[in-house]
Amino acid sequence: MHVTRDYSKSPAPQFDALEDLKSFLGERYETVREILAPVKNKAMFEALCDFAGFTGLPVRALYESINGEGSWS
């Protein structure tokens, strides 16, 4: 299943993306977060997220929730 979300009109796009990701992953969210936490290479992080079933802004939002705001840049 594929779901596309548009965050361009959101006042807080990264917050909304992270909330959508939590909803999408459900109980798996904490496990996925723990597995991805040690991964600092952004390309590898993106690839692992794609494997877990999500891409785009939720990837950046998750990365920054783990590594701090602005760490994706």
Domain ranges in the chain?
13-67
Neighbours of 55 (CB within 10 A): 12
pTM: 0.92
Question: So what's the pLDDT on residue 8?
Answer: 94
- Distances in whole angstroms, Cα of residue 10 to Cα of each of 3, 4, 15, 17: 17, 14, 9, 10
The amino acid sitting at 16 is: D
22-71: pLDDT as tens digits: 999 999 999 999 999 999 999 999 999 999 999 999 999 999 999 999 99
